[in-house]
Homo-oligomer: A and B are copies of this chain.
Amino acid sequence: MAQPTTEPDAPAPAASAASEEGRDLVRDVLGRIGDKWSVVVVCRLGGTTRRFNELRRLSAPITQRMLSATLRGLERDGLVTRTVHDTKPPRVDYALTPRGLGLLQVVRPLAGWAEDNATEIRDSRAAFDAR
Protein backbone atom coordinates (compact mmCIF):
# COMPACT_ATOMS: atom_id res chain seq x y z
CA MET A 1 0.00 0.00 0.00
CA ALA A 2 1.63 3.07 -1.30
CA GLN A 3 4.84 3.10 0.66
CA PRO A 4 6.54 5.09 -2.07
CA THR A 5 10.02 5.44 -0.78
CA THR A 6 12.42 4.56 1.95
CA GLU A 7 11.90 0.88 2.42
CA PRO A 8 15.05 -0.19 4.22
CA ASP A 9 14.38 -3.78 3.38
CA ALA A 10 11.38 -4.72 5.49
CA PRO A 11 9.30 -6.65 3.01
CA ALA A 12 8.54 -9.81 4.93
CA PRO A 13 5.41 -9.84 7.07
CA ALA A 14 7.04 -12.94 8.52
CA ALA A 15 4.52 -14.41 10.93
CA SER A 16 0.77 -14.20 10.45
CA ALA A 17 -0.99 -10.86 10.25
CA ALA A 18 2.01 -8.98 11.48
CA SER A 19 1.45 -5.35 10.61
CA GLU A 20 -0.94 -3.29 12.68
CA GLU A 21 -3.08 -2.22 9.80
CA GLY A 22 -2.82 -5.65 8.26
CA ARG A 23 -4.69 -7.07 11.22
CA ASP A 24 -7.41 -4.48 10.91
CA LEU A 25 -7.76 -5.44 7.29
CA VAL A 26 -7.96 -9.13 8.07
CA ARG A 27 -10.64 -8.50 10.67
CA ASP A 28 -12.56 -6.45 8.14
CA VAL A 29 -12.46 -9.28 5.66
CA LEU A 30 -13.46 -11.84 8.26
CA GLY A 31 -16.26 -9.57 9.40
CA ARG A 32 -17.60 -9.49 5.89
CA ILE A 33 -17.81 -13.24 5.51
CA GLY A 34 -18.74 -13.59 9.16
CA ASP A 35 -22.17 -12.14 8.62
CA LYS A 36 -25.22 -14.31 8.80
CA TRP A 37 -25.47 -15.42 5.19
CA SER A 38 -22.25 -15.09 3.21
CA VAL A 39 -20.91 -18.52 4.03
CA VAL A 40 -24.24 -20.12 3.17
CA VAL A 41 -24.50 -18.31 -0.14
CA VAL A 42 -20.92 -19.03 -1.14
CA CYS A 43 -21.41 -22.71 -0.39
CA ARG A 44 -24.69 -22.80 -2.28
CA LEU A 45 -23.10 -21.15 -5.28
CA GLY A 46 -20.21 -23.56 -5.33
CA GLY A 47 -18.71 -24.00 -8.75
CA THR A 48 -21.89 -23.39 -10.71
CA THR A 49 -23.87 -20.34 -11.73
CA ARG A 50 -27.25 -19.67 -10.16
CA ARG A 51 -30.13 -17.30 -10.66
CA PHE A 52 -31.39 -15.04 -7.89
CA ASN A 53 -34.51 -16.90 -6.84
CA GLU A 54 -32.84 -20.23 -7.32
CA LEU A 55 -30.19 -19.14 -4.88
CA ARG A 56 -32.87 -17.87 -2.59
CA ARG A 57 -34.60 -21.23 -2.45
CA LEU A 58 -31.30 -23.00 -1.86
CA SER A 59 -30.40 -20.62 0.94
CA ALA A 60 -33.79 -20.62 2.65
CA PRO A 61 -34.93 -19.08 4.90
CA ILE A 62 -32.93 -16.11 3.70
CA THR A 63 -35.04 -13.06 2.91
CA GLN A 64 -35.01 -11.36 -0.45
CA ARG A 65 -33.50 -8.28 1.11
CA MET A 66 -30.66 -10.15 2.79
CA LEU A 67 -29.81 -12.21 -0.28
CA SER A 68 -29.62 -9.04 -2.29
CA ALA A 69 -27.42 -7.35 0.29
CA THR A 70 -25.21 -10.41 0.74
CA LEU A 71 -24.65 -10.79 -2.98
CA ARG A 72 -23.81 -7.13 -3.37
CA GLY A 73 -21.27 -7.40 -0.57
CA LEU A 74 -19.68 -10.43 -2.16
CA GLU A 75 -19.65 -8.69 -5.52
CA ARG A 76 -18.04 -5.66 -3.93
CA ASP A 77 -15.27 -7.84 -2.58
CA GLY A 78 -14.69 -9.39 -5.98
CA LEU A 79 -15.96 -12.78 -4.85
CA VAL A 80 -18.97 -13.15 -7.15
CA THR A 81 -19.89 -11.91 -10.57
CA ARG A 82 -23.33 -10.58 -11.40
CA THR A 83 -24.48 -11.00 -14.98
CA VAL A 84 -27.69 -9.36 -16.17
CA HIS A 85 -29.33 -10.88 -19.24
CA ASP A 86 -31.55 -8.32 -20.90
CA THR A 87 -34.43 -10.65 -21.54
CA LYS A 88 -38.02 -10.69 -20.48
CA PRO A 89 -38.57 -11.67 -17.81
CA PRO A 90 -35.23 -10.43 -16.50
CA ARG A 91 -32.60 -12.98 -15.67
CA VAL A 92 -29.57 -12.44 -13.46
CA ASP A 93 -26.84 -14.99 -12.97
CA TYR A 94 -24.43 -15.16 -10.09
CA ALA A 95 -21.23 -17.14 -9.93
CA LEU A 96 -18.07 -17.25 -7.87
CA THR A 97 -14.99 -15.55 -9.23
CA PRO A 98 -11.61 -17.30 -8.97
CA ARG A 99 -11.12 -15.43 -5.72
CA GLY A 100 -14.52 -16.60 -4.56
CA LEU A 101 -13.58 -20.16 -5.41
CA GLY A 102 -10.50 -19.72 -3.27
CA LEU A 103 -12.76 -18.69 -0.42
CA LEU A 104 -14.96 -21.69 -1.06
CA GLN A 105 -11.98 -23.95 -0.58
CA VAL A 106 -11.37 -22.70 2.96
CA VAL A 107 -15.01 -22.19 3.87
CA ARG A 108 -16.28 -25.60 2.92
CA PRO A 109 -14.20 -27.35 5.57
CA LEU A 110 -15.53 -24.85 8.07
CA ALA A 111 -19.14 -25.60 7.11
CA GLY A 112 -18.33 -29.29 7.27
CA TRP A 113 -16.89 -28.89 10.74
CA ALA A 114 -19.99 -26.99 11.86
CA GLU A 115 -22.19 -29.74 10.54
CA ASP A 116 -20.12 -32.51 12.10
CA ASN A 117 -20.07 -30.83 15.50
CA ALA A 118 -23.50 -29.26 15.52
CA THR A 119 -25.30 -31.67 17.81
CA GLU A 120 -22.41 -32.01 20.24
CA ILE A 121 -22.17 -28.25 20.49
CA ARG A 122 -25.88 -27.99 21.09
CA ASP A 123 -25.49 -30.46 23.94
CA SER A 124 -22.55 -28.53 25.35
CA ARG A 125 -24.63 -25.39 25.35
CA ALA A 126 -27.49 -27.07 27.12
CA ALA A 127 -25.15 -28.48 29.76
CA PHE A 128 -23.47 -25.11 30.25
CA ASP A 129 -26.76 -23.28 30.57
CA ALA A 130 -28.12 -25.87 32.97
CA ARG A 131 -25.67 -24.85 35.68
Interface residues of A (CB under 8 A from B): 1, 16-17, 22, 25-36, 39-40, 43, 75-78, 99, 102-103, 105-107, 109-115, 117-122, 124-125, 128-129
Contact = CB atoms under 8 A, between A and B. Distances in A.
Is chain A's interface secondary structure helix, strand, loop, or mixed overall?
Answer: helix
A43 B78 CA distance: 26
Contacts of A1: 119
A118 B34 contact: no
B109 A25 contact: no
A124 B22 CA distance: 16
Interface centre among A30, A32, A36, by most B CB within 10 Å? A30
Contact of A106 (B22, B99, B110, B129): B110
